Homo-oligomer: A and B are copies of this chain.
């Protein structure tokens, strides 16, 4: 028995997120089905990140155990033949049998993309959130600086979930404008439910002048979801990569 780690990219547009869900098509389900078909074993992967419906990925991670004789590095190429075009496994490799993608420490990088211009560009609509009012990127950068480091991010966590520990570390948060696209790239040791989308929604409020950059201190200190901005839509978000120690 070997444990195999997959790095998986997908276009989240047509999926009800990562996690198995009765009555809905999810990425996890499609991967399980393709692996079981390829390997003639009953495979159930363990995923690293349960991305929401509509969220994209360049590098989500999943592991599974198999008896197959196919060399670990070749599994991705074989597997892609059983997958639809909107899911592509980028690499496959053997990992220790006790490697659990949600329990080993890691750095996750997400990117939130905003299309900021007066009229939507149709070919960007599926992968960027369209905001037609002018965003002040300098203010957004200033506000983002307050989020870097170790903080209690309770204000940036969906009120729907109840986790004990809402302290997380953001190693870096970069905001860059290329053409009409503003990209917010956040790297951290883990993220609370909807955290990146709430950060993006709050930075958009800063960009349009509704929240001052310095208000981020009060928002963090308040530990109250209502103090932060709205949750930005799922389709602007991409899970870029997960790096394990």
Contacts and interface: CB of A to CB of B under 8 A. Distances in A.
A122 B86 contact: yes
Interface string A91-104: 10000000000000
A226 interface: no
B9 A121 contact: yes
A11 B122 contact: yes
A85 B120 contact: yes
B125 A11 contact: yes
Contacts of A11: 122-123, 125
Nearest to A8: B122
A128 to B, nearest CB: 11
A58 B121 CA distance: 7
A127 interface: yes
Interface in A31-81: 56, 58, 76, 80
A10 interface: yes
A10 B127 contact: no
A86 B10 contact: no
A3 B127 CA distance: 35
Contact of A119 (B10, B80, B125): B80
A90 B76 contact: no
A238 interface: yes
A88 interface: yes
A114 to B, nearest CB: 16
Contacts of A76: 119
B122 A85 contact: yes
Contacts of A238: 123
A135 interface: no
15 contacts: A9-B122, A11-B122, A56-B122, A58-B123, A80-B120, A85-B120, A85-B122, A86-B122, A87-B122, A88-B119, A88-B121, A88-B122, A123-B126, A123-B127, A126-B126
Given A11-B125, A86-B122, A88-B121, 6 more contacts: A76-B119, A85-B120, A87-B122, A88-B119, A88-B120, A90-B119
Nearest 7 CB-CB pairs, A to B? A11-B122, A86-B122, A88-B120, A11-B123, A10-B122, A56-B123, A90-B119
